[in-house]
Protein backbone atom coordinates (compact mmCIF):
# COMPACT_ATOMS: atom_id res chain seq x y z
CA UNK A 1 0.00 0.00 0.00
CA UNK A 2 1.44 3.44 -0.86
CA UNK A 3 2.63 5.39 2.18
CA UNK A 4 3.69 8.92 2.96
CA UNK A 5 7.09 9.78 1.50
CA UNK A 6 8.94 10.85 4.61
CA UNK A 7 11.83 12.08 2.45
CA UNK A 8 9.50 14.89 1.37
CA UNK A 9 9.11 15.87 5.02
CA UNK A 10 8.71 19.63 4.66
CA UNK A 11 5.92 19.35 2.09
CA UNK A 12 4.16 16.69 4.17
CA UNK A 13 4.44 18.76 7.33
CA UNK A 14 3.04 21.83 5.58
CA UNK A 15 0.12 19.82 4.17
CA UNK A 16 -0.80 18.39 7.57
CA UNK A 17 -0.40 21.83 9.14
CA UNK A 18 -2.95 23.22 6.69
CA UNK A 19 -5.34 20.35 7.45
CA UNK A 20 -5.02 20.90 11.20
CA UNK A 21 -5.67 24.64 10.80
CA UNK A 22 -8.79 23.88 8.75
CA UNK A 23 -9.97 21.51 11.49
CA UNK A 24 -9.32 24.25 14.07
CA UNK A 25 -11.49 26.62 12.04
CA UNK A 26 -14.26 24.00 11.93
CA UNK A 27 -14.14 23.69 15.71
CA UNK A 28 -14.33 27.44 16.20
CA UNK A 29 -17.33 27.60 13.83
CA UNK A 30 -19.24 24.78 15.56
CA UNK A 31 -22.19 25.74 17.80
CA UNK A 32 -20.93 26.62 21.26
CA UNK A 33 -23.91 25.01 22.97
CA UNK A 34 -24.45 21.98 20.77
CA UNK A 35 -25.69 18.59 21.91
CA UNK A 36 -23.20 16.38 23.76
CA UNK A 37 -23.29 12.63 23.11
CA UNK A 38 -21.70 10.17 25.54
CA UNK A 39 -19.83 7.33 23.86
CA UNK A 40 -19.64 3.74 25.07
CA UNK A 41 -16.39 4.42 26.93
CA UNK A 42 -17.99 7.29 28.84
CA UNK A 43 -16.22 10.10 26.99
CA UNK A 44 -18.17 12.99 25.46
CA UNK A 45 -18.37 13.91 21.78
CA UNK A 46 -19.79 17.12 20.31
CA UNK A 47 -20.63 18.58 16.92
CA UNK A 48 -17.20 20.24 17.00
CA UNK A 49 -15.46 16.83 17.29
CA UNK A 50 -17.44 15.55 14.32
CA UNK A 51 -16.87 18.68 12.22
CA UNK A 52 -13.11 18.54 12.79
CA UNK A 53 -13.08 14.82 12.01
CA UNK A 54 -14.83 15.40 8.67
CA UNK A 55 -12.38 18.15 7.68
CA UNK A 56 -9.35 16.03 8.58
CA UNK A 57 -10.62 12.95 6.77
CA UNK A 58 -11.40 14.93 3.64
CA UNK A 59 -7.96 16.53 3.70
CA UNK A 60 -6.11 13.27 4.29
CA UNK A 61 -8.11 11.52 1.58
CA UNK A 62 -7.03 14.17 -0.92
CA UNK A 63 -3.43 14.07 0.29
CA UNK A 64 -2.96 10.28 0.39
CA UNK A 65 -6.15 8.36 -0.48
CA UNK A 66 -4.65 4.92 0.11
CA UNK A 67 -3.26 5.68 3.55
CA UNK A 68 -5.21 4.16 6.48
CA UNK A 69 -6.61 6.53 9.11
CA UNK A 70 -7.36 5.64 12.73
CA UNK A 71 -9.28 8.32 14.58
CA UNK A 72 -10.96 8.53 17.95
CA UNK A 73 -14.46 9.01 16.58
CA UNK A 74 -14.13 6.32 13.89
CA UNK A 75 -12.60 3.74 16.26
CA UNK A 76 -15.85 3.67 18.23
CA UNK A 77 -17.45 1.81 15.30
CA UNK A 78 -14.66 0.37 13.16
CA UNK A 79 -10.91 0.08 12.84
CA UNK A 80 -8.89 -0.41 9.65
CA UNK A 81 -6.81 -3.58 9.41
CA UNK A 82 -3.14 -2.60 9.65
CA UNK A 83 -0.43 -4.97 8.46
CA UNK A 84 2.96 -3.30 8.80
CA UNK A 85 1.92 -0.20 6.87
CA UNK A 86 2.24 3.50 7.61
CA UNK A 87 -0.96 5.10 8.86
CA UNK A 88 -2.32 8.28 10.44
CA UNK A 89 -3.58 8.62 14.00
CA UNK A 90 -6.09 11.42 14.55
CA UNK A 91 -7.79 12.96 17.55
CA UNK A 92 -9.94 15.67 15.96
CA UNK A 93 -10.64 17.35 19.31
CA UNK A 94 -8.44 16.30 22.20
CA UNK A 95 -9.73 17.73 25.46
CA UNK A 96 -13.44 17.69 24.67
CA UNK A 97 -14.28 18.18 28.36
CA UNK A 98 -12.22 21.39 28.39
CA UNK A 99 -13.94 22.53 25.19
CA UNK A 100 -17.38 21.92 26.72
CA UNK A 101 -16.34 23.77 29.89
CA UNK A 102 -15.28 26.80 27.85
CA UNK A 103 -11.56 26.46 28.57
CA UNK A 104 -8.96 27.00 25.85
CA UNK A 105 -6.98 23.82 26.59
CA UNK A 106 -8.10 21.63 23.69
CA UNK A 107 -6.25 20.60 20.56
CA UNK A 108 -6.33 18.94 17.15
CA UNK A 109 -3.86 16.02 17.01
CA UNK A 110 -2.50 14.43 13.82
CA UNK A 111 0.36 11.89 13.83
CA UNK A 112 1.98 9.83 11.10
CA UNK A 113 2.98 6.33 12.24
CA UNK A 114 5.71 4.23 10.59
CA UNK A 115 7.07 0.88 11.79
CA UNK A 116 4.84 1.16 14.85
CA UNK A 117 6.13 4.50 16.10
CA UNK A 118 5.20 8.17 15.66
CA UNK A 119 7.53 9.91 13.23
CA UNK A 120 5.64 13.15 12.53
CA UNK A 121 3.19 15.14 14.63
CA UNK A 122 1.07 18.27 14.37
CA UNK A 123 -0.88 19.71 17.31
CA UNK A 124 -3.04 22.81 16.83
CA UNK A 125 -4.66 24.68 19.72
CA UNK A 126 -7.63 26.50 18.13
CA UNK A 127 -8.47 28.77 21.07
CA UNK A 128 -4.84 29.76 21.60
CA UNK A 129 -4.06 30.29 17.91
CA UNK A 130 -0.88 28.27 18.36
CA UNK A 131 0.47 25.19 16.62
CA UNK A 132 3.35 22.83 17.32
CA UNK A 133 4.79 20.40 14.78
CA UNK A 134 7.81 18.21 14.23
CA UNK A 135 9.47 15.33 12.42
CA UNK A 136 11.60 12.96 14.47
CA UNK A 137 15.25 13.54 13.59
CA UNK A 138 14.51 16.85 11.86
CA UNK A 139 13.42 19.14 14.69
CA UNK A 140 10.26 20.72 16.08
CA UNK A 141 8.62 24.11 15.55
CA UNK A 142 5.95 26.40 16.99
CA UNK A 143 3.73 28.74 14.97
CA UNK A 144 0.97 31.26 15.59
CA UNK A 145 -2.10 31.08 13.37
CA UNK A 146 -5.45 32.72 12.73
CA UNK A 147 -8.02 31.72 10.12
CA UNK A 148 -5.96 30.12 7.33
CA UNK A 149 -2.79 32.15 7.91
CA UNK A 150 0.20 31.16 9.98
CA UNK A 151 3.35 32.90 11.16
CA UNK A 152 6.81 31.77 10.16
CA UNK A 153 7.77 28.68 12.19
CA UNK A 154 10.06 29.12 15.18
CA UNK A 155 12.34 26.22 16.14
CA UNK A 156 11.73 24.83 19.64
CA UNK A 157 13.70 22.44 21.79
CA UNK A 158 13.42 20.93 25.23
CA UNK A 159 15.43 22.59 27.96
CA UNK A 160 18.18 21.00 30.08
CA UNK A 161 17.12 19.49 33.38
CA UNK A 162 16.91 22.49 35.73
CA UNK A 163 19.05 22.86 38.83
CA UNK A 164 16.10 24.30 40.73
CA UNK A 165 12.38 23.98 40.21
CA UNK A 166 11.12 21.12 38.04
CA UNK A 167 7.95 22.05 36.14
CA UNK A 168 5.71 18.97 35.87
CA UNK A 169 2.61 18.94 33.67
CA UNK A 170 -0.35 16.87 34.85
CA UNK A 171 -3.82 16.22 33.50
CA UNK A 172 -6.55 18.60 34.57
CA UNK A 173 -9.35 16.05 34.09
CA UNK A 174 -7.66 12.65 34.50
CA UNK A 175 -5.14 13.02 37.33
CA UNK A 176 -4.90 9.64 39.06
CA UNK A 177 -3.47 8.69 42.45
CA UNK A 178 -0.43 6.89 41.02
CA UNK A 179 0.61 9.95 39.04
CA UNK A 180 0.07 12.19 42.05
CA UNK A 181 2.30 9.95 44.16
CA UNK A 182 5.00 9.98 41.47
CA UNK A 183 5.01 13.78 41.28
CA UNK A 184 5.02 14.05 45.08
CA UNK A 185 8.23 12.01 45.11
CA UNK A 186 10.09 14.41 42.80
CA UNK A 187 12.41 16.98 44.37
CA UNK A 188 11.57 20.67 43.81
CA UNK A 189 8.59 19.84 41.58
CA UNK A 190 5.92 22.39 40.71
CA UNK A 191 2.77 20.75 39.41
CA UNK A 192 0.90 22.50 36.57
CA UNK A 193 -2.54 21.21 35.56
CA UNK A 194 -3.45 21.42 31.89
CA UNK A 195 -5.85 19.79 29.45
CA UNK A 196 -5.25 17.85 26.22
CA UNK A 197 -1.95 17.23 24.43
CA UNK A 198 -0.81 20.76 25.26
CA UNK A 199 1.18 19.11 28.06
CA UNK A 200 3.48 17.48 25.50
CA UNK A 201 3.90 20.82 23.75
CA UNK A 202 4.92 22.59 26.94
CA UNK A 203 7.69 20.06 27.48
CA UNK A 204 8.71 20.21 23.81
CA UNK A 205 9.10 24.00 23.75
CA UNK A 206 11.00 24.17 27.03
CA UNK A 207 8.33 25.72 29.25
CA UNK A 208 8.01 22.49 31.28
CA UNK A 209 10.25 19.54 32.09
CA UNK A 210 8.12 16.46 32.58
CA UNK A 211 4.67 15.05 31.84
CA UNK A 212 3.89 11.77 33.60
CA UNK A 213 0.63 9.90 33.06
CA UNK A 214 0.50 6.63 34.96
CA UNK A 215 -3.09 5.77 34.02
CA UNK A 216 -4.33 4.31 30.71
CA UNK A 217 -4.98 6.49 27.69
CA UNK A 218 -5.39 5.87 23.94
CA UNK A 219 -2.93 5.92 21.04
CA UNK A 220 -4.41 9.05 19.43
CA UNK A 221 -4.01 11.00 22.68
CA UNK A 222 -0.26 10.38 22.73
CA UNK A 223 1.18 9.87 19.23
CA UNK A 224 1.28 13.46 17.90
CA UNK A 225 2.75 14.81 21.13
CA UNK A 226 5.22 11.91 21.23
CA UNK A 227 6.50 12.77 17.74
CA UNK A 228 6.81 16.50 18.48
CA UNK A 229 8.57 15.94 21.79
CA UNK A 230 11.00 13.42 20.28
CA UNK A 231 11.69 15.87 17.43
CA UNK A 232 12.42 18.57 20.04
CA UNK A 233 14.98 16.43 21.85
CA UNK A 234 12.81 14.74 24.47
CA UNK A 235 11.45 11.25 24.91
CA UNK A 236 8.24 9.40 25.73
CA UNK A 237 8.64 5.98 27.36
CA UNK A 238 6.79 3.62 29.64
CA UNK A 239 7.36 3.95 33.41
CA UNK A 240 10.19 1.40 33.26
CA UNK A 241 11.97 3.32 30.51
CA UNK A 242 11.02 1.03 27.62
CA UNK A 243 9.63 2.16 24.26
CA UNK A 244 5.87 2.65 24.05
CA UNK A 245 3.91 0.01 22.15
CA UNK A 246 1.24 1.38 19.79
CA UNK A 247 -1.50 -0.46 17.86
CA UNK A 248 -2.46 -2.84 20.65
CA UNK A 249 -5.83 -4.61 20.19
CA UNK A 250 -7.64 -1.89 22.17
CA UNK A 251 -5.35 0.97 21.03
CA UNK A 252 -4.54 1.61 24.67
CA UNK A 253 -1.30 2.82 26.26
CA UNK A 254 -1.19 1.79 29.95
CA UNK A 255 1.13 4.56 31.17
CA UNK A 256 3.96 6.81 30.03
CA UNK A 257 6.44 9.45 31.12
CA UNK A 258 7.20 12.28 28.68
CA UNK A 259 10.53 13.90 29.44
CA UNK A 260 12.46 16.92 28.30
CA UNK A 261 16.22 16.93 27.76
CA UNK A 262 17.92 15.01 30.59
CA UNK A 263 14.76 15.09 32.71
CA UNK A 264 14.03 11.99 34.85
CA UNK A 265 12.24 9.48 32.65
CA UNK A 266 11.65 6.26 34.56
CA UNK A 267 9.50 5.36 37.53
CA UNK A 268 11.60 4.36 40.52
CA UNK A 269 10.54 1.94 43.20
* Residue 1: predicted pLDDT: 35
* pLDDT (mean) for 45-62: 94
* Residue 72: predicted pLDDT: 81
Measured distance CA(201)–CA(142) in Å, rounded: 9
What are residue 228's DSSP bridge partners? none
Measured distance CA(264)–CA(269) in Å, rounded: 14
Measured distance CA(203)–CA(106) in Å, rounded: 16
Whether the pLDDT of residue 264 is over 80: the answer is: no
* Residue 2: predicted pLDDT: 43
Whole-model pTM: value is: 0.92
CATH node for 166-259: 3.40.190.80
Q: Which of 31-45, 86-100, 112-126, 203-217 has the lowest mean pLDDT?
A: 31-45
Ordered DSSP codes for 65-96: TTS-EEEHHHHTT-----SS--EEEEEEEE-H
Per the CATH hierarchy, to which homologous superfamily does domain 6-156 belong? Fructose-1,6-Bisphosphatase, subunit A, domain 1 (3.30.540.10)
Measured distance CA(196)–CA(209) in Å, rounded: 17
* Residue 7: predicted pLDDT: 57
Whether the pLDDT of residue 253 is over 50: the answer is: yes
Measured distance CA(10)–CA(251) in Å, rounded: 29
Ordered DSSP codes for the chain: -----GGGHHHHHHHHHHHHHHHHHHHHHS-TT---EE-TTS-EE-HHHHHHHHHHHHHHHHH-TTS-EEEHHHHTT-----SS--EEEEEEEE-HHHHHTT-S--EEEEEEEETTEEEEEEEEETTTTEEEEEETTTEEEEEEEETTEEPPPEEE-PPPPPSSPEEEEEESS---HHHHHHHHTSTTEEEEEE-TTHHHHHHHTTS-SEEEE-S-EEHHHHHHHHHHHHHTT-EEE-TTSPBP----TT-EE--EEEE-TT---S---
Count the Cβ atoms, other than its own, within 10 Å of residue 6. 16
What does each C-alpha distance from 176 to 58, 97, 182, 214 come to in angstroms?
Answer: 36, 17, 10, 7
Domain layout of the chain by residue ranges: 6-156, 166-259
Contact 21, 145 (CB under 8 A): yes
Amino acid sequence: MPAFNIAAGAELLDALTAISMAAAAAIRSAPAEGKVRIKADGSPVTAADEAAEAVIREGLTRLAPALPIISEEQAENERPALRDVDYVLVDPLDGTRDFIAGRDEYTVNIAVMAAGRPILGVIAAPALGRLWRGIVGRGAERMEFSAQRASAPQAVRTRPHPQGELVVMVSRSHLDARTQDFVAGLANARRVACGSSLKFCRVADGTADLYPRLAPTRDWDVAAGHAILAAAGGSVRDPEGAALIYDSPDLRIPAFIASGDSAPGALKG
